[in-house]
Chains A and B, each alone.
Chain A
Amino acid sequence: MIAVRDHRDKAAFSRLFDHFAPRLKGFVMRNGTSAAQAEEIVQDVMLTLWRKAHMFDPHRAQVSAWVYQIVRNRQIDVARKENRPMPEALKEEPDAEPDASQILAIEQETGQLRAALQKLRPEQREVIEQAYLGELTHQEISTKTGLPLGTIKSRIRLGLQRLRHELKDLSE
């Protein structure tokens, strides 16, 4: 992803496509979307990934999290004909040195999150998947047990370290 962002590397983008496009198609089809429409959505998502690559920040997210945000935006757009309101983009610090330890920490936390999800009982996992497919309301999310609200606490703490000063810059 960094090669795509910094060097507009099409070969790297092609590899990113090979990894994400089939998974995205599987994800989109889970709510009953036809294969043909799913392909259109996947194409839009991958094109957005290419065009907005400069907005990707590995200190705050893994590519998969960013892909998830983009695909949900696109699905909402298609289903409801409206755009989901999005927060202000954070200011980039073009000269800032990448912080390898933060990038690694985000990677590790995501790995742990994934392992935690894989350990869930099938019916618990089902609820999680429903929630992130956008099929549960906030009331349902707060009443259904088993959502990994606790599991993601360390992930939240990590994200905060980075966000605190970026948002401070934004509001000043």
Chain B
Amino acid sequence: MTAISHHIPEPMLAAYAAGNLPHAFSLVVATHISICAECRAVVEAHEAVGGVVVEDSGAVAVSASMKADLLSLLDDPIPEAPVYARSGPYPGPVVEALKGREPRWKKLGMGVRQDILAEDKHGSVRLLYIPPGQAVPDHGHNGLELTLVLQGSFTDETGFFGVGDVEVADETLEHTPIAGAGDACICLAATDARLKFNAFVPRMLQPIFRI
């Protein structure tokens, strides 16, 4: 595996640690820090700051009955929670978002496919599949977009992105990502707005494709 060279900006890691990042971005962060020690260390450092804030919070007495209730629960059997392990190119958090199933690819044209994992008013997060050598036509962004490579690679005007790398794109970036040769490029892409495609899908079709 080549070294990861494109990381997640620290304010975003801090917001993730503080639990105040939109769900779509949080999934990208959780997936990236499953494979990137550097960003995971940053998140854990911010959790240490959070821990200090808890330690220094003014104490408010808790009721004795709550403690007694809690102590009586300690011997109860622990409810089984499903554990989602890495599967192929998909780290645990992606497998969890897929609820353990294989991706259900929907064709977008030109061999490009997607599977929308989650969508709400704050944004969406999807898996994208781009055949080797295929270009995803020039597109701009309405909001912020995070793209994490899970398999293969892509290159655009800003550089090369291999497995584990994250591209952070905002309104100012108009780019044409091209998938590398070899394995198809599979990405986890999160945005807080709809993408603006210039040529790929006519604007009027966007609601249909939900891009």
Q: Mark B10-41, 1 if CB is under 8 A from A, else 0.
A: 11101101111101011101110111111011
- A-B CB contact pairs (8 Å), 17 listed: A10-B74, A22-B60, A22-B61, A25-B59, A64-B51, A65-B44, A72-B50, A85-B29, A85-B30, A88-B93, A110-B51, A132-B46, A132-B50, A138-B25, A157-B41, A160-B41, A170-B86
| Cβ of A121 under 8 Å from chain B | no
Which residues of B lie under 8 Å from residue A13 when comparing CB positions?
74
Q: B15 and A136: CB pair below 8 A?
A: yes
A128-153 contacts to B, CB under 8 A, are 128-129, 131-139, 141-142, 147-149, 152
For B33, B36, B44, B57, which residue has the most chain A Cβ atoms within 10 angstroms?
Answer: B44
| Cβ of B181 under 8 Å from chain A | no
| Cβ of A42 under 8 Å from chain B | yes
Q: A26 and B59: CB pair below 8 A?
A: yes
Q: B36 and A167: CB pair below 8 A?
A: yes
| Cβ of A105 under 8 Å from chain B | no
Which residues of A lie under 8 Å from residue B93 when comparing CB positions?
85-88
Q: B54 and A64: CB pair below 8 A?
A: yes
Which residues of A lie under 8 Å from residue B58 when comparing CB positions?
23, 26
Interface size on B, as a range, is 35 or more
Q: Mark A35-57, 1 if CB is under 8 A from B, else 0.
A: 10011001100110011000000
Known A129-B53, A163-B37, A170-B86; further 6 A-B contacts with Cβ < 8 A:
A24-B57, A61-B44, A73-B19, A88-B85, A138-B12, A167-B37
Q: State the B residues within 8 Å of A (CB).
A: 1, 9-12, 14-15, 17-21, 23, 25-27, 29-31, 33-38, 40-63, 66-67, 69-71, 73-74, 78, 83, 85-86, 91-93, 96-97
